[in-house]
């Protein structure tokens, strides 16, 4: 089994960062398995899961990434994943998308995330955005999540209905169709 590395990096947003980093992985015969990259304000944030080929060590990859990170002004960190984090065998779960929309105020992400954790719902992706609105800034939150079964989905849905009233926002929870994956 190939060794896996979790790499995170952040720096000022500029064209060419993705090309420069992915070139390092290509030249080192690494496989870029999972990734999330996005602009946050004026910065660019990168989260990657990279598989090393046989014969390559995490230190080899670190030495290859360092000059690129320095050239592009990126702060980065790497962590080798222990085997128990890479082994398959997670229990089956149901994919859902949750959308929250309403007037911006503190606590929206916390209350939704806390409610999800009560039913063992795993948040796998989270995006937020604030836009101007007639009644003040409007907040949008989109979460992708894994729900551990139908009973948990029903319980979570009921709790979200109560949360809508408490937070004075619109909340939509919808299962992801296999075609959408």
- 110 in the same domain as 59: no
Q: What is d(CA 14, CA 34) in angstroms, rounded to the nearest whole number?
A: 22
- 116 in the same domain as 41: no
Give how many domains the chain has, as a whole number.
Answer: 2
- 99 in the same domain as 81: no
Model pLDDT, residue 89: 59
Domain boundary among 67, 86, 105: 86
Its domain, for residue 157, covers: 94-180
63-88, pLDDT tens digit by residue? 999 999 999 999 999 999 998 777 66
How many CA atoms does the CB half-sphere of 69 hold within 13 Å?
A: 18
* Residue appearing with tokens 């719902």: 121
Q: Read off the pLDDT of each residue in 134-157 and give the average, rounded to a whole number.
A: 94
SS3 of 51, please? Answer: strand
Model pLDDT, residue 87: 63
Model pLDDT, residue 135: 85
9-66, pLDDT tens digit by residue? 999 999 999 999 999 999 999 999 999 999 999 999 999 999 999 989 999 999 999 9
Do the Cβ atoms of 58 and 66 come closer than 8 Å?
no
> For the chain, percent helix, then strand, then coil, each to nearest 5?
35, 40, 25
- 108 in the same domain as 78: no
- 39 in the same domain as 22: yes
Domain boundary among 51, 70, 86: 86
- Helix H or strand E encompassing 12: strand 4-12
Domain harbouring 160, CATH code? 3.30.70.260
**Would you say residue 181 has pLDDT above 60?**
no
């Amino acid at each position: 089994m190939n060794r896996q590395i979790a790499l995170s990096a952040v720096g000022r947003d500029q064209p060419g960062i993705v090309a420069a980093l992915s070139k390092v992985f290509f030249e080192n015969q690494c496989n870029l398995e999972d990734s999330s990259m996005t602009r946050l304000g004026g910065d660019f944030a990168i989260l990657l899961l990279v598989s090393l080929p046989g014969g390559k060590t995490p230190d080899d990859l670190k030495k290859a990434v360092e000059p690129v990170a320095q050239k592009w002004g990126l702060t980065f960190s790497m962590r080798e994943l222990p085997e128990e984090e890479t082994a398959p065998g997670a229990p089956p779960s149901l994919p859902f998308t949750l959308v929250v929309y309403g007037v911006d105020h503190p606590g929206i992400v916390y209350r939704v995330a806390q409610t999800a954790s009560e039913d063992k719902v795993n948040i796998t992706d989270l995006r937020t955005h604030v836009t101007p609105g007639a009644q003040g800034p409007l907040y949008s939150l989109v979460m992708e999540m894994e729900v551990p079964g139908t009973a948990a989905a029903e319980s979570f849905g009921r709790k979200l209905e109560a949360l809508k009233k408490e937070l004075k926002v619109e909340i939509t929870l919808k299962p992801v169709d296999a075609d959408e994956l």
